[in-house]
Structure 1
Amino acid sequence: MDKRELDLRELLIEGASGFGVDLNEEQVDKFFTYKDVLKEWNSKMNLTAIEDDREIILKHFIDSISICPIIKDKKSTLIDVGTGAGFPGIPVKIAFPDIKIKLMDSLEKRTKFLDEVIEKLSLKEISAVHSRAEDKGIASDYREKYDISTARAVANLPVLLEYCLPFVRVGGLFIAMKGSSTEEIENSKKALDILGGKIEDILEFTLPFSDIKRNVVIIKKFRQTPTKYPRKSGKPSKDPLI
């Protein structure tokens, strides 16, 4: 192992420990295999604009791990909506092997990539599903079945709430990873009221070893989401609950 790889491994270990996650050697190996598969597939299809190893570790892996302190029960069920290349779902799964995770994405090519990552990393109790949130959000085997839903910079918060809150059981959490503005929070009041969510906390921090600002909005679900939500495909983004 050359010095550069040792430095990158150290970066990942230190960055994760800053969020209370102590990665062992096997877990670090899984992250590096993930990185290699990501780069290989990225040469054939657009999964990420970030191609530098250090940037992948920082802006994808450590950024995803940043939500781990919010997850109190390491055996929770979590759905990652609009997961893309698997963020934050796969890094959370590597960090917390006992968590049960569903990765959802609307592009079938991406779910095939996710299937390969899951297989290469020998991950259990995690699977990818090719679907839109509006379709699975009304399905009885998905609706209000998860302790946690997550989304990472998929859409504006009022739209994300309609995508993600229907999956969460009453008492569960929706964790929105954003560069969230005050205006976005203000614009979410109507959606929160309609969909049965309440902002519990907004965490603002700087990613380790960088000056990149991050915001994580934690929303608790306090009552059931009315059955008419989510609305039909495309409606939440075209006509958000503002």
Structure 2
Amino acid sequence: MTAVGLPGVDVSRETVQTLLDFEMLVRKWTTAINLVSKSTVSEIWQRHISDSAQIFQYFPAGAKNWLDLGSGGGFPGIVVSILARELAPGLRVTLVESDRRKATFLRQAAQQFGLDVVVLDKRIESIPPQAADVLSARALSPLSDLLSHASTHLHPAGVAIFPKGARYNEELAEARSTWDFDVEIKPSCSDPGAAILVIRNIHRAAQA
């Protein structure tokens, strides 16, 4: 079946139910630690779960290690891991989250749903290179900064997947002043003005 509200992925009712259970867990914890903004609590499925799930369609075959930076409330990292249990068994997802309370939530979610997840409660700058096959980050920082992290933590043959808002063209132009990279711009299924940037071959730009 194609899950309603899960663009780009085809999953079982069991996986949909796990995502619904995760939504309830986010709602419960948000009352204490603000995992998502209060203005979007009533729209967690569309604004956060569905928005996160759509990036999974760009998962490269054979990838074994997915690194998610600034995982926050588990978007997209926990959503990716729930989908991977059915669609990519054997994928390990590493979540980097410096806020200890949010890291505790991520560990709780991973344990509750039996996910193959590692949580690093450290700043991104302090973790060793990860050689990830896939690297993601959602609503974390400007593209130039994300490419710096990707150049450190992504395997040379890996892919970075960054959901971006309506200013993505401006971010691309700014990033190209310091970085060379190949990018595919994919439409966002949750926001007609947004895009998903699928980026490979990241290198520092040659200085003039």
CA contact (8 A) 1:199 1:217 kept: no
Q: 1:188 to 1:75 in 2, by over 3 A?
A: closer
* 1:156 matched residue in structure 2: 142
- Find 1:96's aligned residue among 62, 84, 88: 84
Unaligned runs of 5+ in 2: none
Following superposition, the deviation at residue 206 of structure 1 comes to: 3.8
Normalised TM-score (structure 2): 0.87
Residues 154-193 of structure 1: per-residue CA shift (max 9 Å, x gap)? 1111111112331101011111111143221111013324
Which structure: larger Rg?
A: 1
Q: Give the AA of the match of 1:185.
A: L
Asked if structure 2 preserves the Cα contact closer than 8 Å seen for 1:102 and 1:129, the reply is yes
**Any conservation in 2 of the 1:74–1:96 contact (CA below 8 Å)?**
no
**% identical aligned pairs:** 24
Unaligned runs of 5+ in 1: 1-9, 226-242
CA distance in 2, matches of 1:189, 1:150: 19
Amino acid aligned to 2:28 = E
Deviations along 1:124-177, whole A, 9 cap, x unmatched?
A: x212110111111xx2xxx15210110002111111111233110101111111
Query: 1:121 offset after TM fit, Å?
Result: 0.9
Determine the structure 2 residue equivalent to 1:237.
Answer: none
Rate the CA distance shift 1:76–1:214 in 2: closer, same or farther, 3 A.
farther
- Give the structure-1-normalised TM-score: 0.75
RMSD: 2.0
Q: Does 1:133 align with 2:124?
A: yes
Deviation at 1:214, TM superposition (A): 2.4
Segments of 4+ moved more than 2 angstroms? 211-214
> How far 1:122 moved relative to its partner?
1.5
> How far apart, in 1, do the equivalents of 2:102 and 2:135 lie?
19
Report the counterpart of residue 177 of structure 2 in structure 1.
190
Alpha-carbon distance in structure 2 between the residues aligned to 1:199 and 1:158: 14
Equivalenced residue count is 197
C-alpha contact 1:171 1:222 (8 A) present in aligned 2? no
Amino acid at match of 1:202: I
